[in-house]
Amino acid sequence: VGIVQDITARIAQEQEYSRLIDTANAPIFGIDLEGLVNVWNKNASDVTGFTTEDVMGRHLVNEFITEDYKERVQEVFRNALNGVETANFEFPLVTKMGTRVEVLLNATTRRDEQKHVVGVVGIGQDITARINQEQEYARLIDAANAPIFGIDRDGRVDVWNQCAARLTGFGGEEVAGKRLVEEYITDDYKARVQEVFTKALAGEETANFEFPLVTKAGARLEVLLNATTRRDAQNRVTGVVGIGQDITAR
């Protein structure tokens, strides 16, 4: 006895999904359980220069990821194959021209109709231009003729430009990760400076606030500060940046 099942609608839906993936304005790729490419949409081809025919059946991590990221990308895919998905993971793809494209990736577990894991699908975003812009901003900040520093949400230093290093005598490596208020602000100003930073972390910025920094030589450096809230690409507060002016001589 033969039992027939009409799967016309399912096939039509799968074909529609395939068209949506191929025409999506984002690089989308898929790998099987062995890490071999089995999905590669038009945008992925546009971004990397590799056609679908170029990449199909080849090992994505081994052949298209830069050496410094192979292990981390493999871990993301390994997690996805175990059902642990990853969002907003940044990694570089190697293009056909040998250049590096920065991709922001969401890695999702792929399953068949029986819910068995069959691979991973990655939906990406080309953030190369954004990364280049951030690097340019970092160069401008580092070379600025004004002391500029940044702290994270815990008050630890994560930006310290050359001018800040020259004025205080502390190099960037010395201050990175240290609590700015606790270690570099004079006791009589700790509470007030902390209040300025706390407000900036809550979105309330402060202009022309005067406070002293302690230099490596133990001297007191008077700074006029603008404290600005730092936000990420999703507009979430990530810390504070301070742009200062040395007013000691004044």
Q: What does the pLDDT read at residue 8?
A: 67
- In sequence order, which residues have a C-beta less than 8 Å from that of residue 73 and are 6 or more positions away? 61, 65, 89, 91
For 112-186, strand residue ranges (E) read: 117-126, 148-152, 157-160
What share of the chain has pLDDT > 90, as a percent? Answer: 67
Mean pLDDT computed over 193-201: 96
Q: Is the pLDDT of residue 134 over 60?
A: yes
At 138 the pLDDT is: 84
Exposed e or buried b per residue across 208-223, where buried means at least 16 C-beta atoms within 10 angstroms of its C-beta: ebebbbbeeeeeebeb
The amino acid sitting at 116 is H
pLDDT value of residue 137? 85
| Per-residue pLDDT at 12 | 57
Task: Please compute the mean of the pLDDT values over residues 212-241 and round it to a whole number.
Answer: 91
Give the residue, 13 or 189, on which the prediction is more confident: 189
**pTM beyond 0.85, yes or no:** no
Candidates 64, 70, 76; CA nearest to 109 is 76
Using a pLDDT cut of 70, give the percent of the chain over it. 91
Find out whether 25 and 122 touch, Cβ atoms under 8 Å.
no
- Output the average pLDDT for the chain: 89
What is the spatial distance between Cα 114 and Cα 3, in angstroms, rounded to a whole number?
19
Residues 6+ apart with CB under 8 A from 60: 29, 31, 35, 36, 37, 77
Q: Are 100 and 92 in contact (CB under 8 A)?
A: yes
Q: What is the pLDDT of residue 232?
A: 84
As a whole number, mean pLDDT of residues 106-114 equals: 91
Please give the pLDDT value at position 122: 92
Q: Tell me: the pLDDT tens digits for 27-78?
A: 999 999 999 999 999 999 999 999 999 999 999 999 999 899 999 999 999 9
- Amino acid, res. 87: A
pLDDT score at 131:
80
H-helix or E-strand spanning residue 80: helix 70-81
Range in 44-58, 124-138, 152-166, 203-217 the model is least confident about: 124-138
Given a cut of 70, whether residue 23 has pLDDT beyond it is no
CA atoms within 13 A on the CB side of 162: 8
Over residues 94-107, mean pLDDT: 90
Select the more confidently predicted residue: 12 or 218: 218
Residue 14 clears pLDDT 80, i.e. is over it? no
